[in-house]
Amino acid sequence: MALPRSPYATAHQALALVLLLLLCLGVGWLGSTVTGPAVATWYPTLTLPDWRPPNIAFPIVWTLLYVLMALGAWLVWRRVPLAEARGALLLFLLQLAANLAWSFLFFGQQSPLLGLIDIAVLVVLIVLMLVAFRRIDRLAAAINLPYLAWGSFATLLNAWIYVEN
């Protein structure tokens, strides 16, 4: 028979989830501070593919993906001792940094080339994170598969924009 969890353990886990959500959504918000103005001014001047999603889709999809990233990291964090989760969580933080950098490179610097270089690194980091997550918690990896799919799609979109502009 399992012992009941203490209220402290439950509160500690809830706090960790809230902090991870704030971190991921904060990264999204920070990126939007440079993305939003550029989407209104610079981005429409580019030659864009007909197959790109409408602009309104991006904040909706990214918000969902940031929530899934946070949830995945939380599942990993709570599954094993921190010493065992450290590598996976480091990859989580690295991909999050590369994710944020993309907004500043592509939109802030208005550089599809720098964005493409960054997003290629980002997709590799996402794959590495998923592999590390899977070793610890399969659900944590599975819920981030849409992130890999979207990141791969965004890489194709970024590459197309770079080539055509």
Checking if the pLDDT of 3 tops 80, the result is: no
pLDDT single digits (tens) 104-131: 999 999 999 999 999 999 999 999 999 9
Q: What confidence score (pLDDT) does residue 6 get?
A: 55
Share of the chain above pLDDT 70, in %: 95
Q: What confidence score (pLDDT) does residue 52 get?
A: 96
Q: Tell me how many degrees the CA angle 66-26-119 measures, rounded to the nearest 5.
A: 55
- Give the model's confidence band at 5: pLDDT under 50 very low, under 70 low, under 90 confident, else very high: low
pTM (whole model) above 0.75: yes
Share of the chain above pLDDT 90, in %: 93
Any idea what DSSP says for residue 52? S
pLDDT single digits (tens) 9-52: 788 999 999 999 999 999 999 999 999 999 999 999 999 999 99
Other CB atoms closer than 10 Å to residue 31's CB: what's the count?
21
- Give the model's confidence band at 7: pLDDT under 50 very low, under 70 low, under 90 confident, else very high: low
Provide the H-helix boundaries in the chain: 7-40, 57-79, 82-102, 112-136, 138-142, 145-164
| Mean pLDDT calculated for residue range 2-10 | 58
CA-CA distance, 83 to 15, in Å (whole number)?
A: 20
Checking if the pLDDT of 2 tops 60, the result is: no
> For residue 16, what are its two tokens?
């960790």
| Mean pLDDT calculated for residue range 51-67 | 97
